[in-house]
Amino acid sequence: MRGLKILSIKSKIEKKAELELQFKQFQKILKILLLFGIIIVSGFIIYYVWYFNFSQEEDYVGFGVLNRRKEAENYPTVAYNNQPVEFYITVENQLSRDFTFKIRVYRGDNQTKLSSDGSENAHYLYSTDKETLKPRKDWMSEKLSVTFTVNGTNQIIIVELWEYSIDERNFYDILWLRIDVV
């Protein structure tokens, strides 16, 4: 009986050693799987941050006014009667497609209403030729000018950007400069 007890104790010790070995192997596998999971999740996070913040540039059309020295500063605020106010217009195509447009120039006064939909009660002066810009290209007009014939405060130079497609034209954007004419 004593031999049987020793054998039983020996088998319990062996089972315990085997369980400890299996537990250590399980811990190693668990560590490897956790590390693998962390790497996968980190990869998805890096991909998401890079893809949505850096790789997709937002599509837009830049539209600006430059002064007579081709600078985006020191715009005129006073003009003299019958003297031209000179300026340039820039258009920058950051769309993923061609952009066909015309620039329309107006002269306005205190009765002119300006909004993101265009101008009302303004006097149409002229427009540029139709231009087509390829993606990631820009354009600058020839020197443009507006002459005021009536003195007054709050006179307005209005520039509208119109997009053209095969069968229609659509208002796209508006810029304006307020001028006092003396």
Express each pLDDT in 136-179 by its tens digit: 999 999 999 999 999 999 999 999 999 998 889 899 999 999 99
Structure tokens at 136: 């990631």
Q: Please state the domain count of the chain.
A: 2
139 and 101 Cβ atoms separated by less than 8 Å: no
Same domain, 111 and 169: yes
- pTM for the structure as a whole: 0.68
Same domain, 130 and 149: yes
Q: How far is CA 24 from the centre of its chain?
A: 54
Same domain, 23 and 103: no
Same domain, 77 and 3: no
Domain limit, last residue, from 39, 56, 73: 56
Q: What pLDDT is stored for residue 17 in this prediction? A: 78
CATH number for 117: 2.60.40.10
60 and 97 Cβ atoms separated by less than 8 Å: no
Q: What pLDDT is stored for residue 10 in this prediction? A: 65
Q: Look up the domain containing 123 and give its range.
A: 61-181
Same domain, 131 and 66: yes
Same domain, 174 and 157: yes
Same domain, 126 and 155: yes
Q: What pLDDT is stored for residue 43 in this prediction? A: 85
For the chain, which residues score pLDDT lower than 50? none
State the amino acid at position 74 in one-letter form.
N
CA 146/CA 112 separation, integer angstroms? 16
Same domain, 175 and 141: yes
Cβ neighbours of 12 (radius 10 Å):
10
CA 67/CA 140 separation, integer angstroms? 12
Domain limit, last residue, from 56, 77, 93: 56
Same domain, 91 and 74: yes
